[in-house]
Structure 1
Amino acid sequence: MSAPANLTDCYTEELSDLWSANDQMEKVVRDLAEKAGDQKLADRLSRSADGIQKHTETIRKLLEECGEDEKEHCKGMEGLVKEARKHALDADIEDDDVRDVVIIAQYQRMCHYGICGFGTAKAFAEALGKSDHVAKLDKITESIYDADENMSDLAERSANLEAR
């Protein structure tokens, strides 16, 4: 994509980047779910991946409404995915409880990146007067916050304790 010329361009570029980020995150979250030792963690990650997939469909629809249909490769999420693979999937961690703690940490890093991106997109949509887009982006952001908080709760109540 070329350099943005206006706020509409900034908005569509942000959505295009989020589309790519979500595609990348969904794949690695499914892999993390398969590697998780704790069934509750695996289930939460699987549900999260399904939610990410739904968010991606929303992004695609918002982009279509803006006359765009391409995603822009997200290098930020690419780096986070590489880190998740390195530390949680490819690392030679023998203790499942320790791996689960690492999985949670990597998952939350990706969530926080998503919160930032969706918050930015929402701010752009607000400035552009796209109230229907704002509502959808706000719902996605709330969903990511909830997933992050649920993962923190799981870590605090069980995973971190088991990894001691």
Structure 2
Amino acid sequence: MAEIETLQELYVDELKDLWSANDQMAKALKKILGQATNGKLKDMLQASQDGIAKHTDVLKALIEGQDEKLKKEHCKGMEGLVAEALKHTVEEAPKTGPVLDAAIIAQYQRMTHYGITGFGTVAAFAKALKLDDDATKLEAAVADMHKGDDLMSELAESAVNVEAVKG
């Protein structure tokens, strides 16, 4: 990473970091998706893949819009979250389906919350830089992620966690 001296440079660096985070989460979800036993959870994880791809396209366009080289900046934060997610859902996964599904939702939400925070931060940077179109696109991505997170919470509370208690 180059020395960052301006908010514009920080903005671009963070966009590149988020691109890496998205790619890492997408790869992890491909592995996790096969572990899910609840049909609705599988559908939601697949829909999330589509959302991540859409948000990645937004990030790439915003980076190019800043006349920057289209290149990722490896995100170590998501690297850690992905390692934890795979540990708890694939490598050392619970044996029973509903408990495994509950673990999947927990890990999905941890990674999603990281994305919400990151996208929210760069949206605030875009506003400060008077990049109103960028800010609008980033805020829309945050809203998408919040919606997915809310749907996961609803599924967990109404079905998955209830089934997990039963064993």
TM-score for both structures, normalised by structure 1: 0.98
Q: What residue number does 1:82 align with?
A: 83
CA distance in 2, matches of 1:71, 1:112: 20
**2:155 alignment partner in structure 1:** 154
Q: CA RMSD in A?
A: 0.7
Does residue 105 of structure 2 align to residue 104 of structure 1?
yes
SS at match of 2:34: helix
1:64 counterpart residue number: 64
Q: What SS class does the counterpart of residue 14 from structure 1 fall into?
A: helix
1:118 aligns with 2:119: yes
Quote the residue 1:141 is aligned against: 142
Q: Is the 8 A contact 2:87 2:93 kept in 1?
A: no
On the 8 A contact 1:32/1:42 being kept in 2, the answer is: no
The whole-number CA distance in structure 1 between the counterparts of 2:93 and 2:85 is 13
By how many angstroms is 1:32 displaced? 1.5
Q: By how many angstroms is 1:27 displaced?
A: 1.1
Partner in structure 2 of residue 38 of structure 1: 38
1: CA distance between counterparts of 2:32 and 2:93? 14
User: How many residue pairs were aligned?
Assistant: 164
Unaligned runs of 5+ in 1: none
What residue is the counterpart of 1:131 in the other structure? 132
Cα separation, 2, equivalents of 1:19 and 1:113: 13
Q: CA offsets per residue over residues 93-112 of structure 1, 9 Å max, x none?
A: 21011000000000000011
Q: Following TM superposition, by how much is the alpha carbon of 1:92 offset from its aligned partner in structure 2, in angstroms?
A: 4.3
Mind listing any 5+ residue stretches in structure 2 that lack a counterpart?
A: none
Q: Residue by residue, what CA displacement relative to the aligned partner does 1:101-149 show, whole Å, maximum 9, x if unpaired?
A: 0000000000110011001100100000000001100100000000000
* 2:53 aligned partner, one-letter code: Q
TM-score normalised over the length of structure 2: 0.96
**Partner Cα separation in structure 2 for residue 124 and residue 110 of structure 1:** 21
What is the aligned-residue identity percentage? Answer: 49
Q: Partner residue of 2:96? A: 95
Contact 2:11–2:126 under 8 Å retained in 1:
yes
Moved segments of 4+, more than 2 Å: none
Query: Cα 1:8–1:107, aligned 2, differ >3 Å: closer, same or farther?
Result: same
